[in-house]
């Protein structure tokens, strides 16, 4: 099918293509799932601001026909806060890597969740700092080999969904790139949710994580490796405690409503 005929071409910014993702990278799948969610909801990209910081996933907004902001590492939520305080009616979507969300922008992440900032925060978790060459990240599985942990990472990883829930986020879910249907459904919920909505997607980085941790740059091997480590939230209580270690628990972790942080909250309370 030619690029002109592809039904979702209208959502991509042709002058930004071709994209920079490596062959087999999960970032392209995440972008595809996001476009499907937008198309299913009948939303127009014209009405959305999409923000990316630094990292492979942070490039996704550059390829979308949204109003796009692409800037420094870990500061996406600061920009989103400014936009929402000025124009609360505009939907704001952030594409963050796991480094952007859990490390460099970690404090913004927990404060935005605490405030219930009304934005959609999509975390593409490829388990390492990919764009800079495959260094260990706060999400790297225990004992996984990376460029900077040749003997395995000795630090336990963050559970970004539990961090979001305990910080106050009002919609939180986790899937993998191998769960397209569920991811699109969660993205649709997140995009229509009022409050801080987080969708974490475990994604394959064959170029760095695959090569260092598995000894294979084949994306299929890495997707299989990720899938084998998943367990549904509803089934997690059925498995032994020691078998829970290193698993990616999938499902929805939070779906509640409470007051959002907005211009009127700030001005009415005099904060």
End-to-end CA distance of the chain: 54
Give the interface segment with ligand SF4, choosing from 88-96, 205-213, 232-240, 263-271 (CB under 6 A).
205-213
What's 63's DSSP letter? G
Angstrom distances, CA of residue 256 to CA of 84, 169, 170, 171, 190: 20, 9, 5, 7, 12
Q: Which is nearer to Mg ion, 48 or 60 (CB)?
A: 60
Structural tokens at position 133: 């060459």
* Binding partner at 206 among ligand SF4, Mg ion, none, C-beta below 5 to 8 Å by kind: ligand SF4
Residue 96 interacts with ligand SF4 (CB under 6 A): yes or no? no
Q: Which is nearer to ligand SF4, 196 or 212 (CB)?
A: 212
What's 56's DSSP letter? S
Number of other residues whose CB lies within 10 A of the CB of residue 185: 17
Specify the 3-state DSSP secondary structure of 197: strand
Q: Which is nearer to ligand SF4, 171 or 248 (CB)?
A: 248
Angstrom distances, CA of residue 19 to CA of 32, 140, 166: 13, 26, 36
Q: Which is nearer to ligand SF4, 91 or 157 (CB)?
A: 157
Residue 223 interacts with ligand SF4 (CB under 6 A): yes or no? no
Residue 126 Cβ vs Mg ion, minimum distance, rounded to whole Å: 4
202 touches 231 (CB < 8 A): no
Site string for Mg ion, 61-100 (x = CB under 5 A): ------------------------------------xxx-
Residues that bind ligand SF4 (CB under 6 A): 21-22, 25, 27, 56, 126, 130-131, 205-208
């Amino acid at each position: 099918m030619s690029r002109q005929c592809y039904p979702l071409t209208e959502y991509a910014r042709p002058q930004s293509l071709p994209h920079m993702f490596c062959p087999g990278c999960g970032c392209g799948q995440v972008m595809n799932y996001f476009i499907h969610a937008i198309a299913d909801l009948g939303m127009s990209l014209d009405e959305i601001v999409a923000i990316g910081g630094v990292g492979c996933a942070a490039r996704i907004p550059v390829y979308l026909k949204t109003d796009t902001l692409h800037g420094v590492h870990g500061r996406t939520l600061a920009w989103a806060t400014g936009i929402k305080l000025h124009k609360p009616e505009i939907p704001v979507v952030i594409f963050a890597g796991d480094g952007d969300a859990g490390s460099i922008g970690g404090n913004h992440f927990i404060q935005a969740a605490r405030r219930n900032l009304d934005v959609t925060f999509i975390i593409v978790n490829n388990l390492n700092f990919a764009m800079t060459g495959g260094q260990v990240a706060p999400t790297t599985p225990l004992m996984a080999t990376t460029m900077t942990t040749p003997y395995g990472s000795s630090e336990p990883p963050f559970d970004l969904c539990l961090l979001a829930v305990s910080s106050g986020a009002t919609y939180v879910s986790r899937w993998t790139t191998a769960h397209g249907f569920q991811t699109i459904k969660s993205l649709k919920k997140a995009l229509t949710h009022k409050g801080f909505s987080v969708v974490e997607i475990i994604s394959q980085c064959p170029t760095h994580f695959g090569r260092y941790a598995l000894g294979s740059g084949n994306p299929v091997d890495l997707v299989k490796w990720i899938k084998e480590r998943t367990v549904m939230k509803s089934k997690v209580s059925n498995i032994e405690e020691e078998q829970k270690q290193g698993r990616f628990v999938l499902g929805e972790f939070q779906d509640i409503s409470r007051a959002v942080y907005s211009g009127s909250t700030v001005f009415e309370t005099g904060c």
